[in-house]
Structure 1
Amino acid sequence: MTVVEPRLTLERRLLREHPLVIACDEVGRGALAGPVAVGAAVVDARDARRRVPAGLRDSKLVPEHRRADVAARAASWVSASAVGWASSTEIDEVGIMRALGNAALRALAELRGAGVRAEDCIVILDGNYDYISAAGGSGLNVRPVIKADRDCASAAAASVIAKVARDELMGDLHHGQPHYQWARNKGYASPEHRDAIRSRGISVHHRSSWSIADAPTLF
């Protein structure tokens, strides 16, 4: 399989018209347990002239044992970064797409602490649906880009930063619920995770609307 290395082609083009580019990407969308997280990475003209960190890829393409190192170098490369969260309870209450939008807005709000006003930037959002504006992100210039996490270095940075943050959180949650094996499966529907749900039921960290309603097909 040929691995596509992310570039800065789109970012450099957008930076001709905008002072900053913010790239957003989500992790944890398909998990049965734990929150979703949306990473946000800020790139300016100076960053776009620098070499992309070695090994930076969409987080799904970075080997697990290398992700923390790649994420740390990605965070040092971009001007600023943040991770926004939406809990499993929130996902049950408002649905996954609204929860993603809420998490993204929280990441963008966190960037304000670094002096980044999202309203002054253009936001690259991985995917084909603008869940940020749909969640109430008025005044934002959001551009959905299919496979942005694969092709755009800024989105790959957002992806791996969020992935490492969420994996660490799931590792922490594992200590309180070790039978679900979250340290290994990160809340996704692995065989041991499904078996534990069958035998023990769901925890407070599970997305009950998924883990129960979808049980006939998932388990």
Structure 2
Amino acid sequence: MPDLKFERRYKRLHKGPVAGVDEAGRGPLAGPVVAAAVVLDPKCIPEGIDDSKVLTAAKRAELCAALLDCAKVGVGVASVEEIDSLNILWATMLAMHRAVDALGIVPAMVLVDGNRCPKWPHTSQWVIGGDALCLSIAAASIVAKHQRDCMMLELDEAFPGYGWASNKGYSAKVHQEALRTLGPTPHHRRSFWRVAQAELDFGPAAQAAE
């Protein structure tokens, strides 16, 4: 289970609040990439915080609501257009930057899940597997995942047929089949090869159908 050893170490060194940062949505074919930054209040930490991947959707929703109530939370989003123009790595870094900016406070230290930090003015440290080791990163993973899932549920209502309510934009079979039969939407990442190929394949088929 993740714990507070990273936060305690860096708070002691840097004499100020420590934020954890994580993202959701680097791999999907559709939808934005979402990052969250969380500064936990040691006096009000919801029970059950863990890596978002091992929690149910219902538990993530419950914990996200609790974190929004008792922690400092910032959410940052990078759009499909930004993903396609910057590439997914730099769009993810941009979303993380926006998440920290949205905290409302300036952290003394930022702990980032993964193997690199954005180019920003904050003192920071990356932590490989941080969502399973560091409590504030785990909390950020929950917020980022829940917020992005909610966005994909809304997009599923606007663009039915792709299965986004269940696959959240990832390359599931129903999603791939819809790309072939319905074609890409404005929310698809055209810089991803599966979407680019589907657009090429769908164009002639659509013209022939006319």
TM-score (norm 1): 0.85
Q: Distance in 1 between matches of 2:77 and 2:3?
A: 27
Aligned length: 196
- Where structure 2 has 5 or more consecutive residues not aligned to the other structure, the ranges are 199-210
Contact 2:67 2:73 in 1 (8 A): no
One of 70, 74, 94 as aligned partner of 1:82: 74
Q: Distance in 1 between matches of 2:22 and 2:153?
A: 21
Contact 2:78 2:95 in 1 (8 A): yes
One of 169, 191, 198 as aligned partner of 1:187: 169
Q: Distance in 1 between matches of 2:177 and 2:137?
A: 35
Structure 1 residue aligned with 2:205: none
Q: State the SS of the aligned residue for 1:7.
A: coil
Contact 1:83 1:162 in 2 (8 A): yes
Structure 1 residue aligned with 2:10: 14
Aligned-pair distance for 1:213? 4.2
Map Cα deviations across residues 153-178 of structure 1 (whole Å, 9 max, x no partner): 10011110111111111101111111
Question: What code does the residue aligned with 1:173 have?
Answer: L
Contact 1:7 1:52 in 2 (8 A): no
Question: What code does the residue aligned with 2:77 have?
Answer: W
Larger Rg computed on CA atoms: 2
Q: Distance in 2 between matches of 1:106 and 1:51?
A: 25
Backbone CA RMSD of aligned residues: 1.5
Map Cα deviations across residues 122-155 of structure 1 (whole Å, 9 max, x no partner): 110000122x11xxx1x21110001111111100
- Tell me the percent identity: 40
- Where structure 1 has 5 or more consecutive residues not aligned to the other structure, the ranges are none
* 1:1-219 equivalences in 2 (<5 Å): 5-18=1-14, 19-43=16-40, 47-48=41-42, 50=43, 52-78=45-71, 80-111=72-103, 114=104, 116-118=105-107, 121-130=108-117, 132-133=118-119, 137=120, 139-210=121-192, 211-213=194-196
Aligned-pair distance for 1:8? 0.5
Contact 1:56 1:74 in 2 (8 A): no
